[in-house]
Chains A and B, each alone.
Chain A
Amino acid sequence: MPVITYRDALNQALAEEMERDDSVFLMGEEVAEYDGAYKVSKGLLEQFGERRIVDSPISELGFAGLGVGAAMVGLRPVIEFMTFNFSILALDQVINAAAKMYYMTGGQIPVPIVFRGPTGAALQLSAQHSQACETWYVHSPGIKLVTPGTPADAKGLLKASIRDNDPVAFMEGELLYNLKGEVPDPDDGDFVIPLGVADVKREGSDVTIVTHGKMVNEALRAAATLEKDGIEAEIVDLRTLRPLDVEAILRSVHKTNRAVYLEEGWPYVGIGSQIVSIIQEEAFDYLDAPVVRVTQADVPMPYAKNLEKIAKPDAARVVEACNRVLYRN
């Protein structure tokens, strides 16, 4: 199987879907002539022309809304936010327009749109450029949220997101774009991963680490450390947060009886809050220990390298959390 980067996997997905369906177009800041701020759309302008690969002004609210309007009348826009940090400017159009339109119209007008770009922290970009935006989006009914952590998931899930008939927020990671992994050859057929299916990235019987997005890779590092200690961690990568594969979480907790949630965002009303709520409500009798969350420190992201390091969740803290739920301190 070919090994390609997460960036190229996204690029392939965009190209294939645009090839397949003329109603798909990409709009955002720097997506055309500059090839994308993170080069995700490299070469697409040349391939599809400026009708379909469109540089927008720096007007997040405006071009997000334009995309919603275009989707309301049957196009399938892919709106790129240079990062989801900037999408906070566009949230009125995402939450008040895209997410509620189908409902407010009594089912007359669906909004098949994808909002995509990186979420979470990179390196030393400080407070305004380093935040996980999942909660802003997933909180609202009407939105679907996809967070791929590997190149294959990035490709298969982006294709599914573009084909989905509802608004999908598709959150990538700045630090993932260079990540390499196996992705099925395009010549071997259409590679689409349905939304709502979690993936067990590592099997284990002692403790479950539930996570999503970029943090999957941190969980894998933690599991490698734990393995040296004789602990087998199971990693459940949710892949999509809405729809959420609850069965996969419960299945793993039934097996290990212990769970840790790992996420990049803040703790208060974070994704982990929801997951913990589901586990305690639906698998209470299976638990041998309280579920523990590993999150970013509950502060804006600092710039200083040493402070940033301790603010971010990492493999060491995941190991610590696993030991805690295993009562191994």
Chain B
Amino acid sequence: MAQTSQAMDKALERFSREKLHAFMREMLLYRRFEEKAEEAYAIGKIGGFCHLHIGQEAVALGMIGPLRDDDYVITAYRDHTQALAKGMKPGPVMAELYGRDGGASRGKGGSMHIFGAKERFMGGHGIVGGQVPLAAGFGWAIRYREEDQVCVCFLGDAAVNQGAFHEALNMSAVWKLPVIYVVENNEYGMGTAFSRVSALPVVERGKGYGIPAHAVNGQDILETWAFMEDLVEEVRGGAGPQYVDARTYRFKGHSMSDPVSGTYRSKEEVREKTEGADPIRLLRERLFEAELMDQDELEALDREVREIVDEAAEFADASPFPDAAELYTHVYSEINEHGRLFFDGRDR
């Protein structure tokens, strides 16, 4: 026990008190944001698929927080908190979930397609593994322009069984692209345990391309942040692509239509993880033990983020639904001077 707390102290030493408080505040914000989304979904303000990130907050924060504003982030459809972590405002993200005109994607993308071009949050992609070649493309463009940004590409563990993943990893290695592939390894692809359908563990899967593979405890913000801070600088300095197995756990169902435990994982397993591996709880215990935060301070942070989330929901509620005319905007960015582009009669 003494040894453990000594190790904890060491991990804490890297960060200032303000930084540690900021970690707590950010993770609380992500948690409260998703809880608000869950609430809004229950009363029909959000429709369609809605995949919550609860339990995986330390991956989003730790892997994105150390990046520069001009670095790129791309992910799959469990994308709300990564968007916040990359600097998008909670209001437009919530409004996108609500399908409103004030949404980040003007209500056209929804929960699975949050984009912030200005913040270089590149989505929000709905086909498992489909975002991986796109990330290689961002890396390609960075090298093409001889710039020094990096790209962080999140993917779920199940995506490592897709061809797109392997093709992109090979090209990234061949061309030494500045892309960090972070597998959010929450152990399940929807309702199928990774190990039931995969010949090798996640961490082994990038090795065939000579890409350095790393494993981190994705529930520990101190570990993910410190790891990423170092890795990003290496990649910025020309170390080439990296592969990270970020071990985490999804506390909720796959999507809102999926029960928390379901037929594929036991209630006991879920309870053990939510109690024993909650990234917010783990940080709280360590900060309290090291006397770097007390209950009052924690509650004040929580009040602050709840207010932000309430404001985001108010912003979403106040935002109008997109005008019917918006149906036909943004299909093409260039409407050619000649010829017909739409075939349902609208431009006749």
Contacts and interface: CB of A to CB of B under 8 A. Distances in A.
Interface of A: 25, 51, 56-57, 59, 61-75, 92-93, 96-97, 102-110, 112, 141-142, 144, 164-166, 194-197, 240, 242-246, 274, 282
A179 to B, nearest CB: 24
Nearest to B343: A274
Contacts of B135: 69
B316 to A, nearest CB: 15
B40 interface: no
B339 to A, nearest CB: 2
A165 B340 contact: no
A194 B72 contact: no
Interface of B: 72, 103-109, 113, 115-117, 122-127, 130, 132-141, 144, 163-164, 166-168, 170-171, 174, 329-334, 336-343, 348
A102 B57 CA distance: 29
Contact of A25 (B117, B133, B144, B164): B144
Contacts of B171: 56-57, 59, 62-63, 66
B111 to A, nearest CB: 12
A144 B109 CA distance: 21
Given A93-B164, A102-B331, 12 more contacts: A62-B133, A63-B133, A65-B136, A65-B168, A96-B127, A97-B134, A104-B113, A104-B123, A112-B333, A240-B339, A244-B343, A282-B348
A25 B136 CA distance: 15
Given A102-B331, A243-B339, A67 B109 contact: no
A108 B117 contact: yes
A166 B332 contact: yes
A141 B108 CA distance: 15
Given A104-B105, A104-B115, A106-B108, A64 B332 contact: no
24 contacts: A62-B164, A62-B167, A62-B168, A63-B167, A65-B136, A68-B134, A69-B134, A72-B122, A73-B137, A74-B141, A75-B140, A102-B332, A103-B108, A104-B115, A105-B113, A105-B123, A106-B330, A141-B331, A164-B334, A166-B332, A166-B334, A195-B336, A196-B340, A242-B341
Given A62-B164, A243-B338, A243-B339, A106 B103 contact: yes
A117 B135 CA distance: 24
Nearest to A99: B331
Contacts of B72: 73
Contacts of B338: 194-197, 243, 245
